[in-house]
Structure 1
Amino acid sequence: MNLEEIAANFRAQWGQVGTIALLIIAIIVALIAHKVLFKFLENWSRRSEMYFGHLLNEYLYQPTRYILILLAIVIISPALGIELDHVIGHILTVLLIAAVANLCIRIIGMIREILVKNYDVKAENNLHARKMFTQFRIIERLAVFLIVIFAIAIALMTFEKIREVGVSLLASAGIVGIIVGFAAQKSLGTILAGIQIAIAQPIRIDDVVVIEGEWGRVEEIMLTYVVLKLWDERRLIVPINYFLEKPFQNWTRTSTELIGTVFLFTDYSTPVEKLREEFNRILNETPLWDKRTAALQVTNATEKTIEIRMIASASNSGNSFDLRCLIREKMIQFLKKNYPNSLPHTRMELNPVAENKTAESISDLSIQQARG
């Protein structure tokens, strides 16, 4: 005796109450099976010391429960007299497709969490971590996009009318393909640019970039645009094609270390060697300097001032900015306190001979006016 015969006998004895009872029993069996399955996975992850065992419950518990419940209802539906071609059957099928798509998306999210655990993008030297995380983020966005598209397409194809329309369009697929290709050219190009970013990686998550004079960090890389977090907490949204078509600065492309530059403009009488000693003292007293590079040089001379350039290395862009500000502030204080005459000033020289001649001319003019 198969399931349909058992259900038929049960319904014959109990009527609608029997149908509802069978449905409830199927759901209860699905829930028990789900509970047993995840209990097994929990014990297995604990024995094998899987550090991501808790992620199974966090990401897969709810989606799999919905799938098992829907599967139980779909399996028991023929025994209950529910055909999948009917409205209720279609609803169950569409819900099952949506549940499976949701499960796939949740699995991708779980993989992302595992990746974040293995690759710390917040670490000091995180180049490899940012490379892997950037690739996965773009692939994740693309995978979710494709899963949603396929789920919608499969759900629509369960309807007979839509399936017939799809078959009839096959004859004119060439024309439709050309039309859709022109219409979606820009969108598809943007998506392909996102894939190219993932492969070539001119930018990565947490990269420090300068675009159109704006300094910021790459906060999010989406399929069609990039979100930059600027230094003043603003967000700059940049089309992803920009990073393939226009030049920009990436300060952390191969490493986070930078060399900062500070300029001072002083008088010719400035004791450069004293400034060099003070510059080295400032660097040795601050943890912002990473002790790789330091130099103070006179790089230019004009008719009024000399240009002094100071360079110092730092481990990242934030430290480099703070170090440059510190050097500039301390050196100006040092000049003001010890060599105030070395600050830029304009010289004027009065010629005594010229002054005497001017006084004599004025005196002669006054005598002539008095005689007149």
Structure 2
Amino acid sequence: MKKRVIVGLSGGVDSSVAAYLLKEQGYEVIGLFMKNWHDDSVTISDECPWLDDSNDAMLVAEKLGIPFQTVDLSEQYKERIVDYMFNEYEKGRTPNPDVLCNREIKFDVFMKIALDLGADYVATGHYCRKGTLTENGKETYQLLSGKDNNKDQSYFLCQLSQDQLAKALFPIGELQKPEVRAIAAEADLITADKKDSQGLCFIGKVRLPEFLQQQLKPKQGDIIEIPKAFGAYNEDKKDFDSKEEELEYLARKIKYTATDGDVVGTHQGAHYFTKGQRKGLSVGGKVEPLFVIDTDVETNIIYTGQGKNHPGLYKRALFVSNDELHWVREDLQLQTGETLEVLARIRYRQALEKATLYKVDSGLYVEFENNQSAITEGQFVAWYLEDELVGSGVIS
């Protein structure tokens, strides 16, 4: 019996080639397109991306001679991704919809549909690899970075569980992007030269500010510039009674108030802005550009600093609370008091940085060797041992 694989065909080149390779490897392949969105009022005018994408996905399936259907997951997507996003933005945190979409939609809702259709595996066009370790007859799955360093997408899958990995396949993980395009061209797939999508996960080209404005009403507030000489940046290094006390200090959030700097402009809503952001502030006449160093959604104030080396942008440590801590490799989970040297990143495409994990009663500290710019609450930190992603968590 051939093993049955259901491929999430997105209408892009990566998932098209994933389906092609699986068919070549002798699997029984079925293509499924996920429709995650109905509201065209926030997609960029004159483009109906999901229609174009589902059409391209259908033509690829036709070319490969595999069955194809569309599944409408927009209800679950709204509930699990969109509502969560708005909720996070309202709290002044910056969520990562792509990480959530993989955990909640592609490898949960979509995977359940696939398994109901008799699938042995679900495959996607992600640039990452899966390894398997066997000990005493028990299999443990590894999430490994993609061979193409430039395209590695392991970070987006940092919340997957062992159960989800067990059923997952990543057929293009060993390939470089140019090889993927060459295979698509050779197989005469319509997606061979199609540009990579830049929209929210599977919604297509959505403008985030307009998208947010639908739910979060614009509200004018002040932009305040904090000087580099602000007191909290120049506190004397304290003597700490314990490592945990030091970590708590390094990971602390500096509290700003309206009197700590000068009003330099206005904005239309603090929840539209995120730490490290430079665009959209529209404040001129400065020696160096302004960057967002903090937002306060309660008072609707954006705090900014001049230049990308402003001390308000940098921290060396962050904290993840227990309820937002996730181990892909449950067998490597740290117990209270334990530490682990890792490589970590706090955003997609960031180079991996040396760090140490410290497990404490209430959660986990990640202390970096070097200061990190714009550590942002609500985003994910992921940690690796060499090229294996072993765990992740939401920055609190």
Shorter chain as denominator, the TM-score bin is under 0.3
Higher share of residues assigned strand: 2
TM-score normalised by structure 1 residue count: 0.21
Larger radius of gyration: 1
Bigger RCO of structures 1 and 2 (CA < 8 A, at least 6 apart):
2
TM-score normalised by structure 2 residue count: 0.20
